[in-house]
Chain A
């Protein structure tokens, strides 16, 4: 089941946490095209956050094309699949790669060994 959870006191503002979780829900297939999102007031009440914060998160998702607003019926996951911009995809890739490369360096692997391991795992994942 798709659920949004937020934390306070984090470096990411609450609206950003909601946007990110809906996006990764779509990317991970937990949300599929046509699935309804909770209503603004419903989600605000569930997460105990200001309704304007949820409305802001949804309007960002709508402007990115990840979500569609159907007048009077609420918000639904949109058709378009490629929900991240190129810059955002790069940013996310870097975020995932940096700790892995740091770990490889601290374990004493060199660039060639790291690249060899990377392509081995890449092929294993894309073959399946």
Chain B
């Protein structure tokens, strides 16, 4: 099997004159769990639809399991389990009918796995989909995509709107799947704590571009933060700090988040003329949030916490 389950090369997609993804170079390595993060509208679903061959890119190339995504042979498609956002199922069908319907379209099918997952989510197989909770619907849709034993699992925001118990059942099912040898998972998510648990790699999309593509440990070690105390801050000098991701001000303090900090960043920090500069511990969620906050602020480095407006 190839080293990469998915390869996207300079992928670009426009919708009515607006680029939703821009020059995306992104690789999903085989046998790993990769989490795709980003705000709503960052281009995650568009990326997933292109790599599944459901949408043509405006420019660039998408290779999924070694085949061009727009021309996936049926045998290759059968090796991919794909769950769309929202866990859509026909409301009038019973869970068993969903199973029979899906099974009839697949050459390989593991009935025991299907039953195990349905049971794990505490679902009655004879229940109608319309009577299921959102978490149970997630369980059915997960069982439907996993029962054919796919090599590649692509999940578009599977945890959206799930209660904590279903979320844990989802995580447990994904870990079981990922731990059973050489299988690849790509999932998009907003739940950073869950991503920290289950992912090997993290990719962050901001405004249609890929801003982070690293292993979890690499990501943590490459992002660092400092608290700077000063009477006044010169925005131009702060924006000039190499590697700056976000600058967040609290009164006379500012938290600066930096990526790939080096001696030049240190020199630029020293030039700020601050009274004090102190490194702060950054957790995984903080690091991701720094990237996402910047997008919310229209690309500006500066974000203002709510309370700071009243501070001075």
Contact = CB atoms under 8 A, between A and B. Distances in A.
A49 interface: yes
B217 interface: yes
B182 to A, nearest CB: 12
Given A41-B179, A50-B33, A51-B175, A11 B196 contact: no
Contacts of A104: none
A45 interface: yes
B216 A13 contact: yes
Interface stretch (B62-70, B127-135, B203-211, B277-285): B277-285
Contact of B196 (A9, A45, A52): A9
Given A9-B193, A41-B179, A44-B175, A50 B283 contact: no
A48 interface: yes
B197 A51 contact: no
5 contacts: A9-B192, A9-B196, A15-B217, A45-B172, A48-B175
B130 to A, nearest CB: 30
Interface in A7-31: 8-11, 13-15
Contact of A13 (B32, B172, B194, B220): B220
Contacts of A8: 193-194, 196-197, 284
B176 A10 contact: no
Contacts of B192: 9
Interface in A28-60: 41, 44-45, 47-53
B175 A52 contact: no
Nearest to B220: A13
Given A9-B285, A13-B216, A48 B197 contact: yes
A45 B283 CA distance: 23
A50 B198 contact: yes
B146 to A, nearest CB: 16
A41 B175 CA distance: 9
Given A9-B283, A50-B33, A45 B197 contact: no
Contacts of A48: 168, 171-172, 175, 197-198
A10 B175 contact: no
Given A48-B197, A50-B197, A9 B178 contact: no
A49 B175 contact: yes
B200 interface: yes
Nearest to B192: A9
Contact of A51 (B178, B193, B194, B199): B178
Query: Which 4 pairs between the two chains have the least Cβ-Cβ distance?
Result: A11-B281, A51-B179, A8-B193, A8-B196
Interface string B148-189: 000000000000000000001001100110110000000000
A48 B172 CA distance: 6
Nearest to A10: B283
A49 B179 CA distance: 10
A21 to B, nearest CB: 16
Contact of B179 (A11, A13, A15, A44): A44
Contacts of A15: 217
Given A8-B193, A8-B196, A50 B178 contact: yes
B33 A45 contact: no
A45 B216 CA distance: 19
B289 to A, nearest CB: 11
Contacts of B172: 45, 48
Contact of A11 (B32, B178, B283): B283
A39 B211 CA distance: 36
Nearest to A56: B217
Most A-side CB within 10 Å, residue of B171, B192, B196, B199:
B196
Contacts of A50: 33, 175, 178, 197-200
A8 B193 CA distance: 6
Contact of B197 (A11, A41, A49): A49
B198 A49 contact: yes
Given A48-B197, A50-B198, A52-B200, A11 B175 contact: no
Contacts of B179: 41, 44-45, 51
Contacts of A10: 283
Nearest to B169: A48
